Amino acid sequence: MVSSLDKEKKELALRLYQISAFKFGSYTLKSGEISPVYFDLRVIISYPDVMQKLTDCIYKFIEDKEIQCDQLCGVPYTALPLATLLSVKMRQPMLIRRKEAKSYGTKKLIEGKFQLEETCLIIEDVVTTGSSILETTKDLRNEGLVVEDAIVVVDRQQGGSQHLDKNGIKMHSLFTLPYLINVLKDDNKINEELAKTLNDYISKPIENSKPKMSRLQMSFTKRADIAKNEVAKTLFKIMELKKTNLCLAADVTKTDEILNLAESLGPYICVLKTHVDIIEDFNDDFIKSLKGLAEKHNFMLMEDRKFADIGNTVSLQFSKGVYKISEWTDLLTAHSLPGSGILKGLKSAMSNKNQLGIFLLAEMSSEGNLLSKEYSGQTMDMIKDFSDIVAGIVAQTPNLIDDAGLIQLSPGCRLEESGDDFGQKYNTPEYIINEKGGDIAVVGRGIIESKNPVEVAKTYRDRLWAAYENRLNIN
């Protein structure tokens, strides 16, 4: 006898096919794998009847499995509406896990009221490797919640269940890909040939089912080995050797002040950052002395010029004029706003093609800045064609970088959370490294304006490095 749930599942499977929640053809997955089937359950939000049926099925499925929980949490973002409807139907509290913590207000990553040791049931739409569920689980467990079960609408059966099981999570899938194939074949929605293609695809040995290791899980030594930019390689090694990920922003206007800072603070930093156009007594001897101190104390020089013009103009700004920046800096900053021409222009003016690392501004730390998420994404796309000259990005969030060979520079660091009159927001060393994903934190006035810059610089160095080591242990 066919149970009520079995009948509803078959009807729902056909309805999902009807609204193109899954499609057959040739699709490139996030992992880069070519798949003959693609699931896009986001489309269900346009069909309230489907959302209702799916919610009802999941509800009955949970009852059949006799799963108990104190909280529900949908994996961002497709599963959020499902978790919301289930929360109402089950009269069960719900939590929301942000993909990134807010930089203002409570700065919470997990929203909602909960108690330590409460059990949380995860809701997800589609599982391939299970990496998204693991990311959500990690954040929930970090808050003291217990995660042991996950409800999944579709299991592609490509290693996700086994991977989750190894991490203490039992996955319960409403549908599996073989089940959907059989339902659609029996209803003549797909033919025998397509069914065979799909079944052959499922039966293939699973390749690369283990999620790609995040840069946040990797030591600077390992990342040096995969960095494509030679200067980035060297910088990673300096950071590990000196055990520092502190960048000093030497934003003062006299050459003697900068040289004194470089001499006294050089042992504790990996980068000294300048704004050469604010220096009132700039001269060639100053550059010679600064380079000597950089070599003596083993740190790199960064000119924070933030180039933002067309390629030809930028090439002249970089190599000509009073400052002749190309002759002395190791690192420099630039905007991606003008397009790839700016990188071509900078590259054309480089005296040594292997001795410059560019940091593109993907995000800014100032309140009200206009760099949108779309802009940030386009910046990352641009880097792919210039990996030989781009060392990293200036950014404020942990998930922009896919290539672990790139370095994230994060400004706005103070020992205590604060702000200034010009909209600059400051976060603690621990927050910069662990929440914002910074590899190197930029500190300026917090050190320079202190009564004892050397001792304060040591404190920043120690707290930033401890935060980096803690990040490795957590991940």
420 is in an annotated binding site: no
* Cβ-defined contacts of 286-293 (< 8 Å, 24+): 286/255, 286/258, 286/259, 287/327, 287/328, 289/259, 290/258, 290/259, 290/262, 290/328, 291/328, 293/259, 293/262, 293/263, 293/266
Tell me if 403 is assigned to a ligand binding site. Answer: no
Is 68 annotated as ligand-binding?
no
Q: Which of 304, 330, 425, 439 is catalytic?
A: 304
Task: Pick the catalytic residue from 89, 228, 306, 344.
Answer: 306
**CB-based burial of residue 133 (10 Å sphere; 0-12 exposed, 13-18 middle, 19+ buried)?**
buried
Q: Are 75 and 136 in contact (CB under 8 A)?
A: yes
Q: Is 471 annotated as a binding residue?
A: no
Q: Which residues contact 39 (CB under 8 A, 6 or more apart)?
A: 21, 22, 125, 126, 154, 156
Q: Is 53 a catalytic residue?
A: no
Is 155 noted as a catalytic residue in this protein? no
In angstroms, what CA-CA distances link 433 with 98, 361, 448, 457, 474?
A: 18, 18, 21, 17, 12
138 assigned binding-site residue: no
**Residue 77: how many CB atoms within 10 A of its CB?**
10
Q: How far apart are CA 382 and CA 339, in angstroms?
A: 8
H or E stretch at 422: none
304 belongs to the catalytic site: yes
* 273 annotated to bind ligand: yes
Residue 365 known to bind ligand: yes
Residue tagged active-site, from 56, 70, 309, 462:
309
Known binding-site positions: 251, 273, 365, 414, 424, 444-445
Q: Which positions are annotated as active-site residues?
A: 304, 306, 309
Known binding-site positions for substrate: 251, 273, 365, 414, 424, 444-445
